[in-house]
Structure 1
Amino acid sequence: MFQIIPAVDMKGGKCVQLVQGVPGSEMVSLDDPAAAALNWVARGAKTLHLIDLDGAFEGKRKNGQIIEDIVARAKPLGIEIQIGGGIRSFEDAETLLSAGADRVILSTIAMQNPQIIREISESFGKSAVVVGLDAKNGKVAIEGWTKLSEKSPTDVGKQFEDLGAGYILFTNIDTEGLLKGVDVKPTKDLIDSVSIPVIASGGVASTDDLLKLRDAGAYGAVVGSALYTDKFTLEEAIAVLEK
């Protein structure tokens, strides 16, 4: 069943939502990320998406203690947890998976060292590996969205599937954080090019957007700004998707 996955993005110890991933553009800033995460769980979330933005931007994870706290409190409730941001080595991934994460999200390191996907997949299973493909203007973005590669998401997606990725998290930066709705085509193109599940992210502003992504074949959608700014409630989204 299609999943709606609340995002808990952390920067400087706070739960934030950025516009287009730009530092300093916070439209949401909450002092207690753990409380935010557990609020989504209480309201029906089955999976949490935890991102250390300091790690994504600087290559060094700074919100690890908060993330560990969320994992320790959410896992006993049967919640699946995927974690990303600043995972730059096998050891980083091993630490998070051993601490209870179900999946780690590899983005910059996957582009720089694709073989790490195989290494983690062989050690922890394909289901533990999510490759984060972030695209702008049809090109894959890396290093916290600060640089564009010359590769397309479909090309990279197929390559990473062959290396053992169990999921692809596809973020359309062109619509991310703008709350203007999704552009389904890039996501659909990627879904059609691979056989592993694709989780969509970027631009969701209504429950209709969720239905469009579900109908395109996405495994689920990561939703941040729309939930935090009350464009719709998590309960409303769950009800619509269950119809």
Structure 2
Amino acid sequence: MQKVKIIPAIDIMEGQVVRLLKGNPNEKTVYGNDPVQMALKWEKQGADMLHLVDLDATLQRGSNHGMIKKITQSVLIPVQVAGGLRDRKIIEESLQISQRIVVGTIALKNPELLMEISNKFGKDRIVISVDHNNGMVVTHGWQQRTDIDLFDALDDFAKKGFTEFLITNISRDGTLEGPDTENLQKACKISGINVIASGGISGPADIPHVRECGAYGVILGKALYDGKISIKEAKTA
């Protein structure tokens, strides 16, 4: 069984490193004022990759693209960029500064643009973020619910040749309640895809469960920032 890639999240709002509870901007905890130093810290501690999220862009109230570019120029490990990537210009700019981008809303709402971008840059550089609330897909920074089933969406994208996915059960995100292994296990059984698990990690004991599900990687958020797990503990677990 392969090792799970350990991927710290750096969520950026108004230039600060923050965590939101279940994606709610009114439930914000600030963890630092220097995202570049935070990125260097996680790199030094052994992170396999960084997951950079522009929350202002996600919520359509600003941009931290300049800060994200600084981070990508400062670290040597791979970086995937997420948050508010909904038009061609910002998607292409993000692909020029990072190894991968993470898209959710445009993947569902603008499949033509998704295919154009993937044909130009390669499907392996596009991570499809399928965010859901207990099995039903949500979009627009988790603000809009759909009637799309999580597994129908995954199957559809897999049939189009996409292999990289990020799955977040938003009801677990920032709660430290443990990962949603039931849906994760089902997702990882879809042939030919890599799944990154996100949401709910509470400590080192959760990592083997994610690995047993067959996940390619795991996002560390609140548990990492609150000191309930270290990158070293995650890798040895």
**TM-score tier (shorter):** over 0.9
The Cα of 1:182 is off from its aligned counterpart by 1.4
State the 4+ residue runs in structure 1 displaced beyond 6 angstroms: none
Residue deviations 1:95-153 (CA, integer Å, cap 9, x gap): 11112x11111111111112333222211112100011110031001011011110111
1:214 is matched with which residue?
Answer: 211
Percent pairwise identity: 36
Q: Pick from 158, 182, 203: which aligns with 2:155?
A: 158
The Cα of 1:18 is off from its aligned counterpart by 0.7
The Cα of 1:191 is off from its aligned counterpart by 1.6
1:111 is matched with which residue?
Answer: 108
Q: Pick from 178, 181, 187: which aligns with 2:178?
A: 181
Structure 1 residue 85 corresponds to structure 2 residue 66 = no
2:69 is matched with which residue?
Answer: 68
2:34 is matched with which residue?
Answer: 32
* Aligned amino acid, residue 91 of structure 2: A
Structure 1 residue 239 corresponds to structure 2 residue 236 = yes
* Aligned amino acid, residue 93 of structure 1: I
Structure 1 residue 201 corresponds to structure 2 residue 198 = yes
Query: How many residues of Structure 1 are paired with residues of Structure 2 in the alignment?
Result: 235
The Cα of 1:194 is off from its aligned counterpart by 4.4
The Cα of 1:174 is off from its aligned counterpart by 1.5
TM-score by length of 2: 0.95
CA distance in 2, matches of 1:166, 1:117: 14
1:129 is matched with which residue?
Answer: 126
The Cα of 1:61 is off from its aligned counterpart by 5.2
Residue deviations 1:144-182 (CA, integer Å, cap 9, x gap): 101111011111111112233231100011111001111
* Aligned amino acid, residue 105 of structure 2: T
Shift in alpha-carbon separation, 1:109–1:21, aligned structure 2, 3 A: same
Residue deviations 1:28-82 (CA, integer Å, cap 9, x gap): 4311111111100011012000000111111x651011100000011xx2x1110
* Aligned amino acid, residue 16 of structure 1: V
Q: Is the 8 A contact 1:197 1:219 kept in 2?
A: yes
SS of aligned partner of 2:59: helix
Shift in alpha-carbon separation, 1:93–1:3, aligned structure 2, 3 A: same
CA distance in 1, matches of 2:25, 2:207: 27
Q: Is the 8 A contact 1:5 1:222 kept in 2?
A: yes
* Aligned amino acid, residue 96 of structure 2: S
Superposed CA RMSD: 1.3
Structure 1 residue 170 corresponds to structure 2 residue 182 = no
Which protein has the bigger helix share?
1
2:20 is matched with which residue?
Answer: 18
The Cα of 1:3 is off from its aligned counterpart by 0.5
Q: Is the 8 A contact 1:158 1:194 kept in 2?
A: no
Q: Is the 8 A contact 2:31 2:225 kept in 1?
A: no
The Cα of 1:239 is off from its aligned counterpart by 2.0
CA distance in 2, matches of 1:226, 1:144: 21
The Cα of 1:206 is off from its aligned counterpart by 1.3
CA distance in 2, matches of 1:115, 1:188: 30
Specify every segment of 5 or more residues in structure 1 that has no aligned partner in the other structure, as ranges: none
SS of aligned partner of 2:176: coil
Q: Is the 8 A contact 2:128 2:165 kept in 1?
A: yes
Q: Is the 8 A contact 1:118 1:164 kept in 2?
A: no
CA distance in 2, matches of 1:179, 1:125: 35
Which protein has the bigger strand share?
2
CA distance in 2, matches of 1:122, 1:142: 23
